Structure 1
Amino acid sequence: MNAIQGHICDIQISTNLAVVSVQIKEDIVWKILIAETPDTASYLRIDNMIKLLFKETEVVITTNKQQAISIENGIEGVISDIEKGLLLSKLTINTKAGNVISILATEAVDRLMLEKHQEIIAMVQMNEIMVSI
């Protein structure tokens, strides 16, 4: 499980849902979708520190910084290790927020021609992130 820490910097509410913006680093803000509001979850307060948790299989990789895509959250990094298996491969990506692990199809690794020391962007949809306080 990947874990990135940050503080809540904005909360947008619609009925019983909240889109919470979390500042991870000065120039990195991720958004998460939570089925709670500040009225139902006491940890949903501006400036509260939280951990964002997401599975390795939920990390999408792109090599194109200019690509238009609907995934809300991205973080630039460099591939520091690749463990290729027959079907799946594990990438370790060094980012400003720490290491992020991605597990993806080996076929995708080959198609994207991913290799160690390559700059990429790791992305996670806001609905695939869990919160820990």
Structure 2
Amino acid sequence: MNTLLGNITEITTEGSLSLVKIQVQQTVFTSIVIDTPETASYLKTGNTIKLLFKETEVILAKKITGIISLQNKIDCTVDSFEKGALLCKIVLNFETAKITSVITRNAFDQLEIQENDEITAMIKTNEISLSND
């Protein structure tokens, strides 16, 4: 599980859902949660929070151009990788943190991933969970 630490900068609520923006170092992440500031005490602007997301939810792209609906796009470099017959594990440098992605071997080969490559890592807003412990 990937874990990043950040601070809540903005909360927009509609019904029982909240769209939460979290500043992690120099990057803003977005998460949607089934909670509101009225139902969850951790949802307060300025609070420090953990962002959690699975390795299999980290989408990778090289030389991405154009507009894409994914809100969480972060620039990384490839630190290391392990190639298997079916899956590959890629460890990425993101600012001062590490993020891990697991993708298929076919996707890995198509991207021609090498150490130190510049990669855009993307995580869907609904795949980021928040934790205050």
TM-score range, shorter chain: over 0.9
Aligned-residue offset at 1:65:
3.8
Indicate the larger mover: 31-40 or 65-74: 65-74
TM-score normalised by structure 2 residue count = 0.96
Per-residue deviation at 1:97?
4.6
The one-letter amino acid paired with 2:24 is: I
- Please give the per-residue CA displacement for 1:36-60, whole angstroms capped at 9, x wherever unaligned: 0000000000000000000000000
Tell me the C-alpha RMSD between the 2 structures.
0.9
CA distance in structure 1 between the aligned counterparts of 2:66 and 2:120, rounded to whole angstroms: 11
Identity of aligned residues (%): 38
Cα deviation, 1:72-106, whole Å, max 9, x if unaligned, reads 10111110111000000000001115000000001
Check whether the contact 1:24–1:97 (CA below 8 A) recurs between aligned residues.
no
Q: Which runs of 4+ in 1 moved over 3 A?
A: none
CA distance in structure 2 between the aligned counterparts of 1:67 and 1:60, rounded to whole angstroms: 16
Uncovered stretches (5+) of structure 2, i.e. residues with no partner: none
Q: TM-score if structure 1 supplies the norm length? A: 0.96
Which range is displaced more, 16-25 or 69-78?
69-78
1:90 is matched with 89
Query: What is the match of residue 4 of structure 1?
Result: 4
Match status 1:78 vs 2:77: yes
Q: How many residues align?
A: 132
